[in-house]
Structure 1
Amino acid sequence: MSDWLHVNRGDAPLIVAFPHGGTGLGGVEPRFASPWLARRDADWWIAELYDFVGEMGANTVSTEVSRSVIDVNRDPSGASLYPGMATTELCPTTTFDGERLYRAFDPEDDEIEWRRKTFFDPYHAALGAEIERLQAVHPRVVLYDAHSICSHVPRLFDGELPQFNLGTNGGATCDPALEAALEGVCQQSGQSWIANGRFKGGWTTRHYGAPERGVHAVQMELAMRGYMDEPTVPDEANWPGALHAPPAILPTLKALIGACLTFAQGTN
């Protein structure tokens, strides 16, 4: 594809997307007040955590570009996915904690448009093409949007985030049977979980999820404590924390992906 956009094809009717695993600054690094801050809010180790999905035949789509350059999981129109709640923009101007990202001035309309055409549009063109390719041979396709975030982000949510956060936009983006199967896996994990809590699914889930047309989209937001060292106060010396070997939540993730495949293959 390119040096920043990666598509790995399998035969299974499942796509696992990684929109926020990248740390590349897309040629605009001098604009940022701190390159470290511009990388800090990545979904750290997310592709490594889900490395097993290729062995299960899943397709993956990922970008190496940081969400601070452009967030490919935001509405390209700039409309908020969570009106009235703290969030970050299509081209974020602050970190999750509210720190300013830019040295002088925030991206203006022409720069945002350039970033959208350069990074956002190709990412979604690739994702859409994979969905179309799989739909040509499978009656059901599942899109699993893989995310993670620090367990404590006071600006975004109160207290400690549940370990597993399933988002289906209130059940609109997938068949109820798939949602129930994923909820069952979370319940059986014995760890904290919630469906459609603080994270109901970003633009990717909401845009592509069309169960009436055979595309079933879900978002899974993980609290990072389940798979990596998570210092109380991240700084340049201790962040990102080390990936656990093996991650405690790995069996549950494999069960979640397995449930997606079972549903997509029509064997449930």
Structure 2
Amino acid sequence: MSDPATLQTPTGPMPAFETRAPAFQTIPFVFCSPHSGRAYPESLLAASRLSASDIRRSEDLFVDHLFDFVPAIGAPFLVAHFPRAYLDVNREPYELDPRMFREPLPPFVNSSSVRVAGGLGTIPRIVAEREEIYAEKLALAEGLERIERIYKPFHRSLESLIRLTRERFGTAIVIDCHSMPGSVRAMPGGRRPDFVVGDRFGTSASGVVVAQAIGALAALGYDVMRNKPYAGGYITERYGRPEAGIHVVQIEVNRYLYADEKRFEPNRNFLALRDDLMRFAVTLAAAVDGEFNQRAAAE
């Protein structure tokens, strides 16, 4: 299943995003990769002051490939092909920076958020290394068009997947898949975590789900942090409603585990990590299913 919105890239048209769905959904999970897109529109490349490699620094490198097993284990996987440097769907719909646009912004825009101040709003101003993306200011109509044509349909697709999953299973667990730079040093002693599990400080998912996720990763031998330095973005904040049976957990994978960040290439550990992530997902699905079934029987 794919959305009709397309990106005009140097190699031809490409759908802005797609849902990779199993023939039959068997687990109450929805996986999402909003930042791994690498189909750069010709219009973005023409407007950017950055080289073709520098503009890629915001990508969640190959996260869509790391989790490409998801349909095979019985869950849908929503994958962005549009790059984060073009549009960030892990933001509010209108977190826009007035410094980026030729015209004044409409009154409904949130231009005072911390994310906008940092240059990483819905239409990002910078890439991860704090390099300015655009050579000149954008027309406001262009930014709003990206939101109407891609942002809103992407979220409608995610909302539909969550709704259908909850209707089918009585609960929905969203795994929001991301990656973090190898330079992140958030553990005691300045060590870098292998994974960060974010739940908006206990608000976007049941503690049971989060504990099971952390435990499943730790059992595979990985160092895991919770909410530090990534607690979750707009997707966890918007959709996480544990009291209504909707749990959203953000998973950040450290890129040093699987990629050469400077060359934008997988390293020799890529396939081993992918296998571990599949074990993690299967273990988490079984643990959550057992926990919820046990609770239902007790009630």
What is the TM-score when the length of structure 2 is the normalising length? 0.78
What is the number of residues matched between the two proteins?
Answer: 257
Instruction: Write the letter of the residue equivalent to 2:62.
Output: W
Instruction: Write the letter of the residue equivalent to 1:205.
Output: T
CA shift digits 1:224-243 (9 cap, x unpaired): 1112234xxx2xxxx20224
Give yes or no for contact 1:209–1:216 (8 Å, CA) kept in 2.
Answer: yes
Task: Tell me the residue number matched to 1:117.
Answer: 148
Give yes or no for contact 1:41–1:149 (8 Å, CA) kept in 2.
Answer: no
Task: Tell me the residue number matched to 1:31.
Answer: 47
- The alpha-carbon deviation at position 256 of structure 1 amounts to 2.9
Task: Tell me the residue number matched to 2:57.
Answer: 40
3-state SS in 1 of match to 2:178: strand
The farther-off stretch of 91-100 and 79-88 is 79-88
Instruction: Determine if the alignment matches structure 1 residue 201 to structure 2 residue 216.
Output: no
Give yes or no for contact 1:142–1:264 (8 Å, CA) kept in 2.
Answer: no
1:64 pairs, out of 65, 70, 81, with 81
CA shift digits 1:23-80 (9 cap, x unpaired): 1233422111123322232111111111222211111111110001111111223157
- The alpha-carbon deviation at position 21 of structure 1 amounts to 1.1
Mapping of residues 184-223 of structure 1, within 5 Å: 184-223=215-254
1:104 pairs, out of 108, 111, 136, with 136
Task: Tell me the residue number matched to 2:196.
Answer: 165
Residues 140, 171 of structure 1: CA spacing in aligned structure 2 closer, same or farther, 3 A cutoff?
A: same
Q: Which runs of 5+ in 1 are unaligned?
A: none
3-state SS in 2 of match to 1:147: strand
Q: Which runs of 5+ in 2 are unaligned?
A: 4-14, 96-109, 295-299
3-state SS in 2 of match to 1:137: helix
3-state SS in 2 of match to 1:170: coil
3-state SS in 1 of match to 2:71: helix
Give yes or no for contact 1:24–1:66 (8 Å, CA) kept in 2.
Answer: yes
- The alpha-carbon deviation at position 190 of structure 1 amounts to 2.9
Give yes or no for contact 1:14–1:260 (8 Å, CA) kept in 2.
Answer: no
- The alpha-carbon deviation at position 89 of structure 1 amounts to 1.6
Q: Which has the higher helix share?
A: 2
Of the two structures, which has the highest relative contact order with CA contacts closer than 8 Å and spacing of 6 or more?
A: 1
The farther-off stretch of 18-27 and 93-102 is 18-27
Task: Tell me the residue number matched to 1:92.
Answer: 124
The farther-off stretch of 161-170 and 179-188 is 179-188
Q: Distance in 2 between matches of 1:131 and 1:89?
A: 25
Instruction: Write the letter of the residue equivalent to 1:258.
Output: V
Q: Distance in 2 between matches of 1:210 and 1:198?
A: 22
Mapping of residues 233-252 of structure 1, within 5 Å: 234=262, 239-244=263-268, 246-252=270-276
What is the TM-score when the length of structure 1 is the normalising length? 0.86
Give yes or no for contact 1:18–1:146 (8 Å, CA) kept in 2.
Answer: yes
- The alpha-carbon deviation at position 267 of structure 1 amounts to 4.4
Residues 89, 264 of structure 1: CA spacing in aligned structure 2 closer, same or farther, 3 A cutoff?
A: farther
Q: Distance in 2 between matches of 1:267 and 1:244?
A: 39
The farther-off stretch of 143-152 and 19-28 is 19-28
Q: Distance in 2 between matches of 1:264 and 1:202?
A: 26
Instruction: Write the letter of the residue equivalent to 1:120.
Output: Y
Mapping of residues 121-140 of structure 1, within 5 Å: 121-140=152-171
Aligned alpha-carbon RMSD (Å): 2.5
